[in-house]
Structure 1
């Protein structure tokens, strides 16, 4: 291979380090280094001097250590073999990274396993050329962005998985809410991995997470999203999961034949199976009780009878009331006077009743015969007795109904008057409003 007269960078534009393909050099070879680049010479596996931007001659004057390696007198000319590496020191801000496959994590909020994937980008700059080449390049000819990403992939994935998991646990949030904390997570990852890059002579400029998401076809994510959508629907409508299950069970029961007790047992079993046996069982018992009410009413009325005195229910063939001792036989004996009837519903009133047990109308007895009458009745419908309140005439003692101002027998005024000024006063009044005379001693 011919000796190279001029060595300059001829590699791709987006690489971090590139090795010149021809190692045959001479002490007269010209080395051209571009701006934002550095070149370093390797001889016998040993790193020699670093050359900055400009044009350099690879002579023993510029590389004193080369004299001992090539065994030339100072200032002599001779060919020699060496490797020339060019390192780009521009800021590279668009290095992409991403999870090769989804990472399995447990959602701490809903306790479900979901698959998580993430991607983003980071920026860096080669800060120490010698350290970078010695630690990372090895025998490679090119070190580009893809190589950089592959080299640090394990470091990135370990920290990303750990930090995302810790944020989910400490913040007690769902994986579906993690995107609200992307900025914080990115900053923490940058602080953690920056020292590792520094050890390789690389300065980490920034680290960004563009997205943390879950695959659309992940079973855990699908179930979680469906459950959240169902919960939102129930919150909007205004009922709970237990109520919905109750509705479903009752709807299914309505389409099946069976007794009330069978329905209750089925409801209780289902409620316990769903982890809500107590609440669901109570609901089912209430429903069953209502369903059985209509069927049990007729049979209960045939088996029991009520006491007309204290309203206690007794067996149908009882002779005496178990509560007050009322004699059912005497009540049904021939010649026994019939009980009074309610003036509101015309149904019999049990003895001692203050209200009608059928319609709730208050019992207002006639003072003469005891028959019930309406509150506003003027005469008893049973005996014709006047129900209007009466008072006696102060002059002749004749009974005078309320509201009558003069006695129909003697014509004396029935109204109360003050003994001093004869002004009309009301019953119970202590002083005359006209003259102030004291009426009650």
Structure 2
């Protein structure tokens, strides 16, 4: 090394960080961690700096500005007397810059579905959840001691990935404790997010960070779960429709089976099945053909008429009878009421 280069290395310098949105933690590059006396440290808005001198944190700068540094590495002298030791000084000053502004809208999500028992349908379900969170530096000393592990750089993407893993562990617990059903969970996402933010805040604090915002953006049930619940919902809807028409779900299913068999030319004897449909339908309709008329002893009440009309409409909707059958039987009901 020429004497010119040697002296140039010991001249005071400007120390600053041109960080971008992808950076969170950055060590100022100095070959032997020798910062020259009277060097100028510039901390830009939205940045902070940690000064580690001879192995100890001596200062944390959180306000923007220009600062003059004083160290034991006097210009020229140190390197000259350390010529035979590779120009390395025993006095070390490491400068770490960090981002103070919020890291916004970092995505998290369950890598695998969460397995639950739906409290309403009492069936196993598999649920995926996703959202985003925002955080900022809260305690640079704690972050340096507990997270960086001597690393010189930490990107927001790397840090967010570590944090997202911790979030998922907590949300699995929250989902089990909240015990929302398939039809309830989307209406309670805000409440769950608020509860999770409170639970996660201490986790972030232990890392020297502050959880500024936490949101659950959506849920995804697996296809098998959706199919099972869809079938249950269909049965429930059919049972309610049958009940409104004065029938049981079993009676409705029996009519459907007879109807389907009658349509299957390769199945049971078509005429016989059609007769079976007619007999079952007649039994269901009851007084359509057997009720007394206006001068009879058994007058049909308005409530009974309304129920029979609902039952007749259900048979039409299920395609057990045709539109012509419906109109004809409806007229009979109205005439005999």
- Shorter-chain TM-score tier: 0.5 to 0.7
Partner of 2:120: 109
User: 2:160, 2:254 → 1: CA distance?
Assistant: 56
- C-alpha deviation, 1:81, in angstroms: 4.1
Of 199, 205, 214 in structure 2, the residue corresponding to residue 198 of structure 1 is 205
Q: Does 1:11 align with 2:22?
A: no
Describe the shift of the 1:211–1:13 C-alpha distance in structure 2 as closer, same or farther (beyond 3 A). same
Indicate the residue corresponding to 1:243 in structure 2: 251
Q: Could you tell me how far 1:100 is from its partner in structure 2?
A: 2.0
Q: How does 1:202-217 map to 2 (within 5 A)?
A: 202-215=209-222
- Structure 1 residues 252 and 59, CA gap change in structure 2 (3 angstroms): closer
Hey, what's the Cα distance between the residues in 2 that align with 1:204 and 1:19?
24
**Structure 2: distance between partners of 1:243 and 1:84:** 81
Among residues 132, 137, 155, which one is paired with 1:126 in the alignment?
A: 137
Structure number, greater radius of gyration: 1
1:147 aligned partner: 158
- Tell me by how many angstroms 1:249 deviates: 4.8
Higher-helix-fraction structure: 2
Q: Deviations over 1:113-134 (max 9, x none)?
A: 2221111112222122211222
More relative contact order in 1 or in 2 (CA 8 Å, sep 6+)? 2
Secondary structure (helix, strand or coil) at the match of 1:25 reads coil
Contact 1:27 1:77 in 2 (8 A): no
Residues 171-221 of structure 1 deviation map (CA, whole Å, 9 limit, x = unaligned):
xx4224201111111111011111121222222222111112214xx2122
The answer to whether the Cα contact below 8 Å between 2:139 and 2:209 also exists between their aligned partners in 1 is yes
On the 8 A contact 1:131/1:201 being kept in 2, the answer is yes
Aligned to 1:222: 227
The answer on whether the counterparts of 2:42 and 2:67 sit within 8 Å (CA) in structure 1 is yes
Deviation for aligned residue 1:77 = 6.6
- Quote the Cα distance in structure 1 between the aligned partners of 2:197 and 2:157: 19
Counterpart of 1:382 in structure 2 is none
- The 3-state SS of whatever aligns with 1:94 is strand
1:37 corresponds in structure 2 to: 47
TM-score, structure 1 length as denominator?
0.49
1:60-111 CA deviation, whole Å, 9 max, x = no partner?
4xxxxxx5xx6x7xx9974654321111111333222112222222212212
Q: Answer whether contact 2:107 2:164 (CA < 8 A) is retained.
A: no
CA displacement 1:7-36 (0-9 Å, x = unmatched) = 101232343222223334211322111123
Residue of structure 2 equivalent to 1:160 = 171
Is 76-85 or 132-141 further displaced after alignment?
Answer: 76-85
Q: Distance in 2 between matches of 1:107 and 1:77?
A: 75
| In 1, Cα distance between equivalents of 2:34 and 2:143 | 24
User: CA 1:33 to 1:253, structure 2 compared with 1: closer, same or farther past 3 Å?
Assistant: closer
Separation of aligned partners in 2, 1:77 and 1:243: 102
* Aligned equivalent of 1:49: 59
CA contact (8 A) 2:108 2:168 kept: no
Structure 2 counterpart of 1:183: 190
Q: CA deviation at 1:233?
A: 5.0
Is 2:99 the counterpart of 1:88? yes
Q: Which runs of 5+ in 2 are unaligned?
A: 79-88, 270-278, 284-337
User: C-alpha separation between the residues in 2 aligned to 1:77 and 1:125?
Assistant: 41
What CA deviation, in whole Å up to 9, does each residue of 1:382-417 have, x standing for no partner?
A: xxxxxxxxxxxxxxxxxxxxxxxxxxxxxxxxxxxx
Segments of 5+ residues of structure 1 without an aligned counterpart are 61-66, 258-285, 291-441
Partners in 1 of 2:114 and 2:200 — Cα distance? 20
Distance 2:169 2:248 in 1: 41
State the distance in 2 between where 1:24 and 1:76 align: 12
Name the SS for the 1:86 alignment partner: strand
Q: Distance in 1 between matches of 2:183 and 2:154?
A: 37
Alignment of 1:323-334 (within 5 A): none
